[in-house]
Amino acid sequence: MEDNDETCVISEIKTKTHQCFESRKHANCLLDIIGHSETNSKTVLLACIRSFHKLFTKYLSSGELFLDIPSDLKDTDLTKEEKYKGWLKERYKDVVTRLIQLLHHENPNIRELSLCTLMKFVLEEGQLPVAKHTPSRTHFPLALFRRVVHSLTSESIDLSALIGRFQEYLAYDDVRYHLMRILHKQIASKAQGPLTDVYLNNILMLLEQISFTSVGSENSEELHHFLTKYPESENALKVKSLDEQKKVFTNLWIDFLQLKLPNSVYKRVLINLHDNVMPHLTNPLYLSDFLTASYDVGGAISLLALNSLFVLVHKHNLDYPDFYEKLYALFEPSVLHVKYRARFFHLCDLFLSSTHLPAAMVAAFAKRLARISLTAPANALVITIPFIYNLINRHPNCKVLINKDTPTELLEDPYSQEEPDPVKSRAIESSLWELKTLQSHFHPDVAKKAQRIDQPLSKEEIPLGDLLETSYNDLYAKDTRKKVKHSPMNFNLPKGIMGLPSDKLNLCWTLE
């Protein structure tokens, strides 16, 4: 469609929208606007959605869509008013169907405006329903809301950005409750079948939007911020109860975690679990099986499961005697190269902070880290050496590792790196000769940090916060900020344009 044609169509849509506002005799203009919404033109589509928003917000708020007709009443017995409302209600269904389709449109602006319009309809229907309800039923427009949620959980289209826009509506306690119920039923119905990565990503994105942090006091028994009015019924009491909502939240997450999750979704779950999920579960220990299984996977998955598992052990009395053995097994050379290296060392610093840990165990961690540091990149050594220093400073019994006289040529190290139990590794009988080796490292910062171990230990630990995210770019930037008077570029001063006298190029060419 050309620009001139689009301008004419948009002008026509605005005119017919205004006519629909003026009088019912122009109601057929709705059919023309709905017809224009089938176009491929983005600007025309946006104009149609804005028109739908204006018109049906008015119809819903004024009660023009409310129709309560007995099922046994014939069309011939209807009044003109009832026929008009029936016709208008059919057009409303057409508009809702079209907006649901547009949630999957390629243009993000059309998707977002369609979602906002649909949720505006949900809000208006909640205030003034389009059909009569029995006293025991809620006024919440569940049928319309369910269609919106099902569309957001597409199996083929990634709707992460659109779902992020959906978060503002979850400030309503009843919207959050009904979203959780719909997702729970949906996951339960699809648990046995194959699920696409896109579908699981959309589901997780919706789960990540659910929060109880804005609800208020944890001790409050009843919720009050609703989109709709609720009668005093058993169903309504469940919506108003914070405990009931947390039960649904717990069941929803447990069922979701039982699905076969791709690595990308699996990692996102573990990253957010301890902060955004566990505090709102009725009992965080329900996650014990999932987290212990994740901890046994190895690699980045085990690393990311550390925090949540430690919370269960530390705050919820989970009996997990092999925790430190599994943590010790993660100290491999690969851990210094992973994306979550900073997170790993931050957590390990927390886990090894207790002064009640056996000295033999702490010595094993220090020794293991020193050993893998021999092949570590320079930006990782900026973290590992202060980490070892803090371990020894924190546990004075481990000073024996640096006070031993290390011979110039070490023929045998009593430490057994293959021993899975850190206490039995005999690290306490060894010494940190690896740090002596790193004192000759090519990078001056690394060598300087390694030399600090020869000095008397200070009472204060080295803060790791600023070091955890150190990269090669940071090291390079630090070196380039140093002021150097002369920067040597060659060992021998070149003579002439042909370079050094020994340059092979001189054998082929001469300059006259």
Distances (CA, A) of 429 to 78, 81, 262, 361, 415: 96, 94, 44, 12, 7
What pLDDT was estimated at residue 217? 47
Report the pLDDT averaged over residues 170-193: 90
What pLDDT was estimated at residue 477? 67
What pLDDT was estimated at residue 136? 44
What pLDDT was estimated at residue 154? 93
Q: Are residues 224 and 240 in the same domain?
A: yes
Burial of 212: CB neighbours in 10 Å, binned 0-12, 13-18, 19+ = middle
Q: Are residues 88 and 143 in the same domain?
A: no
What pLDDT was estimated at residue 131? 67
Q: Of 100-109, 133-142, 204-213, 390-399, where does the model show the most confidence?
A: 100-109
| Collapsed DSSP state (helix, strand, coil) of residue 385 | helix
- Say if 413 falls within a structural domain: no
Partners of 222 in the β-ladder: 241
Q: Could you say which of 260, 287, 306 is where a domain stops?
A: 260
Residue 138 and residue 236 in contact, taking contact as beta carbons nearer than 8 Å: yes
Residue 267 and residue 300 in contact, taking contact as beta carbons nearer than 8 Å: yes
Q: Are residues 152 and 249 in the same domain?
A: yes
Please list, in sequence order, all residues whose beta carbon lies within 8 angstroms of the beta carbon of residue 375, skipping any fewer than 6 positions away: 333
What pLDDT was estimated at residue 317? 86
Q: Are residues 224 and 161 in the same domain?
A: yes
| Collapsed DSSP state (helix, strand, coil) of residue 151 | helix
Separation CA 41–CA 34 (nearest Å): 14
Q: Are residues 108 and 159 in the same domain?
A: no
- Say if 10 falls within a structural domain: yes
- Say if 166 falls within a structural domain: yes
**CB burial readout 295-324, b (16+ within 10 A) else e:** beeeebbbbbbbbbbbbbbeeeebeeeebb
- The pLDDT tens digits for 243-294 are 899 999 999 999 999 999 999 999 999 998 988 899 999 999 999 999 999 9
Residue 373 and residue 438 in contact, taking contact as beta carbons nearer than 8 Å: yes
Q: How many angstroms separate the first and last alpha carbons of the chain?
A: 72
- The pLDDT tens digits for 400-458 are 888 666 555 556 788 998 999 999 999 988 888 888 889 888 888 888 888 888 887 77
pTM above the 0.85 mark? no
What pLDDT was estimated at residue 48? 95
Report the pLDDT averaged over residues 124-147: 74
Residue 499 and residue 493 in contact, taking contact as beta carbons nearer than 8 Å: no
Helices (H), 398-512: 400-403, 433-438, 444-451, 472-480
Q: Are residues 120 and 147 in the same domain?
A: no
Distances (CA, A) of 81 to 74, 128, 132, 414: 15, 18, 17, 95
Query: Which has the minimum average pLDDT: 24-33, 88-97, 486-495?
Result: 486-495
- Say if 97 falls within a structural domain: yes
- The pLDDT tens digits for 336-388 are 888 788 888 888 888 888 888 899 999 999 999 999 999 888 888 888 888 99
Residue 395 and residue 357 in contact, taking contact as beta carbons nearer than 8 Å: yes
Q: Are residues 198 and 88 in the same domain?
A: no
Domain region containing 27: 1-132
Q: Could you say which of 82, 110, 132 is where a domain stops?
A: 132
Q: Could you say which of 260, 285, 320 is where a domain stops?
A: 260
- The pLDDT tens digits for 296-342 are 888 888 888 988 988 898 888 888 888 888 889 989 888 888 878 88
- Say if 389 falls within a structural domain: no
- Say if 426 falls within a structural domain: no
Q: Are residues 119 and 162 in the same domain?
A: no
Q: Are residues 168 and 253 in the same domain?
A: yes
Positive/negative CA dihedral, 177, 180, 184, 190: positive
Average pLDDT of the chain, as a whole number: 84
Please list, in sequence order, all residues whose beta carbon lies within 8 angstroms of the beta carbon of residue 315, skipping any fewer than 6 positions away: 284
- Say if 370 falls within a structural domain: no
Q: Are residues 114 and 151 in the same domain?
A: no
Query: Which has the minimum average pLDDT: 6-15, 112-121, 463-472, 497-506?
Result: 497-506
Residue 143, pLDDT > 60, answer yes
- Tokens describing residue 482: 């140093």
What pLDDT was estimated at residue 13? 92
Distances (CA, A) of 471 to 193, 194, 336, 380, 474: 44, 41, 11, 8, 5
What pLDDT was estimated at residue 457? 75
- Say if 476 falls within a structural domain: no
Structural domains in the chain (count): 2
What pLDDT was estimated at residue 270? 93
Separation CA 86–CA 82 (nearest Å): 6
Q: Are residues 46 and 149 in the same domain?
A: no
Residue 492, pLDDT > 80, answer no
Q: Are residues 1 and 115 in the same domain?
A: yes
Of residues 310 and 72, the one with the higher pLDDT is 310
Residue 105, pLDDT > 90, answer yes
- The pLDDT tens digits for 385-395 are 889 988 888 88
What band does 235 get if pLDDT is binned at 50, 70 and 90?
low
